[in-house]
Amino acid sequence: MTDGTPSPAGARRVWAVGALCRAVADALEARFNPVAVRGEITGFSRAASGHCYFSLKDAQGQVRCAMFRRAATLLDFAPRDGELVEVSGRLGVYEQRGDLQLVVESMRRAGQGALFEQFLRLKARLEAEGLFDGARKRELPLLPRGIGIATSLGAAALHDVVTCLRRRAPHVPVVLVPAAVQGSQAPGELVDALQALYRMAERGSIDVILLVRGGGSMEDLWAFNDERLARTIVESPVPLVSGVGHETDFTIADFCADVRAPTPTAAAELAAQPQETWLAALGMVHERLQDAALRRIDRASQRLDQAAAHLGRPSARTAQQHLRIERQAQRLRQALAARLRKAQEQLATRQESLGARVAQRLERASRQCERIEMRLQLLDPRLVLQRGYALLTDTASGHPITSVRQAHAGQAVRAALADGEVDLRVAPGSANGA
């Protein structure tokens, strides 16, 4: 038979799966329930429904547990992995999976679990040595030249971190050194991975490191509570961000790192600012440089106007002033071009389109400089002389002659024309207004 009913004499009894599960559950009910169990919590999680799921374990075994919302609301503490607790409930079979399951009706603390106690002892010792001292922790660089990552190739955290970095800062190089993040070999591999990244940091290729792993039970994250790994983290030559587990998970690595992020994705966000922020900042710097350059050119133009108003013999002095203004304008253009080139070099790898935008703005600034230079040329007094005017000076004293009352018959005078000077003498009867 297939439904659990007796088979004919001599035939082997054949059970239906569901009937067998119910029979085992009935046997457990009659033999054990209600039952009290003492063990260490592992894999604790709380569903959106309010139900809690976890396992209780000790050195010899492990049993799955479920605590439904009604019982969970009566708890006077927040259970977490590593805690030693005593629970009471009913042992049964979860028929959909055929798993042995303890439905917990009450729970109380029974002390800290062995792993948690080990964690606390190591934490206290390293803290006393100063490994967690906030004074030695460094701020993260605003513009990282490169980002190093130590994690497992198969970790979901790696996908989250890389996706975040590509979105926020695609121009920043990322270097991955893979290592196991769970199991007995994980601490040694993590130490080797960090030391490889440290060598790259000393060569200047990276200046921030992310140590990341997704969430899990205390056993899953135990590699990040290793003492050798903790001391290696403290030796990092560049700022190191620890993004291990979820927001409620804490490891020794978190306390040793320069910055602790609640999740791997948050670690990536802390390490790289969005490129849009820096593009906007570059635009503001460009506008300020352009405004400053134009103001300096305006001030130089005013000085030229003032110098022209005080000229005695304009031909030589005007040329000298004009040359000075040309040099100043050239220096200003060169300075502006140099500063803009420097800004372009710093952010050239960040956005190709930024180069075109800066070039367009630089071209407009150059055209403005050319227009100003043309205006300055129009102020040149030599242009007046080219229209047929002459500048008369007394040959003996060099003083300019601006009135006929300053001239007398027979006086030697010099006329400055557009292409040179002519020595003349005042004819009789033409002086003093005659």
320 C-beta neighbours (distance < 10 Å), count: 11
pLDDT tens, residue by residue, 153-181: 988 889 999 999 888 888 889 999 999 99
Contact between 115 and 82 under an 8 Å Cβ cutoff? The reply is yes
The phi and psi torsions of 137 (rounded to 5 degrees) equal: -85, 140
pLDDT tens, residue by residue, 282-330: 777 877 888 788 888 878 878 877 776 665 555 666 677 778 888 888 8
The confidence score (pLDDT) of residue 70 equals: 92
Q: Greater confidence, 301 or 210?
A: 210
pLDDT tens, residue by residue, 78-89: 888 888 899 998
Distance CA 428, CA 409 (A): 5
Topology of the domain covering 143-271 = Rossmann fold (3.40.50)
Residues 6+ apart with CB under 8 A from 129: none
Whether the full predicted model's pTM is greater than 0.85, yes or no, is: no
Q: Greater confidence, 432 or 350?
A: 350
The confidence score (pLDDT) of residue 202 equals: 93
pLDDT tens, residue by residue, 212-246: 998 877 778 899 999 999 999 999 999 999 999 88
Task: Map out the domains of the chain as residue ranges.
Answer: 17-112, 143-271, 275-380, 390-425
- 139 has pLDDT over 60: yes
213 C-beta neighbours (distance < 10 Å), count: 29
Name which of 225, 305, 301, 212 is nearest 262 in CA terms: 212
Distance CA 74, CA 72 (A): 5
Average pLDDT score over residue span 380-385:
71
What percent of the chain has a predicted confidence (pLDDT) above 90? 31
pLDDT tens, residue by residue, 51-101: 999 999 988 888 999 999 999 999 888 888 888 899 998 888 777 777 788
What percent of the chain has a predicted confidence (pLDDT) above 70? 86
Contact between 101 and 65 under an 8 Å Cβ cutoff? The reply is yes
* 341 pLDDT tier (thresholds 50, 70, 90): confident
Distance CA 83, CA 217 (A): 12
The confidence score (pLDDT) of residue 305 equals: 74
pLDDT tens, residue by residue, 242-267: 999 887 778 999 999 999 999 999 99
CA distance readout (Å), 433 to 147, 280, 330, 403, 409: 88, 70, 48, 9, 11
Distance CA 199, CA 204 (A): 9
The confidence score (pLDDT) of residue 311 equals: 58
- 424 has pLDDT over 80: yes
The mean pLDDT of the chain is 83
The confidence score (pLDDT) of residue 1 equals: 45
The confidence score (pLDDT) of residue 161 equals: 92
Instruction: Please provide the DSSP assignment of 256-315 as one string.
Output: HSSEE-SSHHHHHHHH---HHHHHHHHHHHHHHHHHHHHHHHHHHHHHHHHHHHT-SSHH
Contact between 90 and 103 under an 8 Å Cβ cutoff? The reply is yes
Look up the CATH number of domain 17-112: 2.40.50.140
Categorise residue 100: left if φ over 0, alpha if ψ from -120 to 50, beta otherwise: beta
- 403 has pLDDT over 60: yes
Q: Greater confidence, 410 or 8?
A: 410
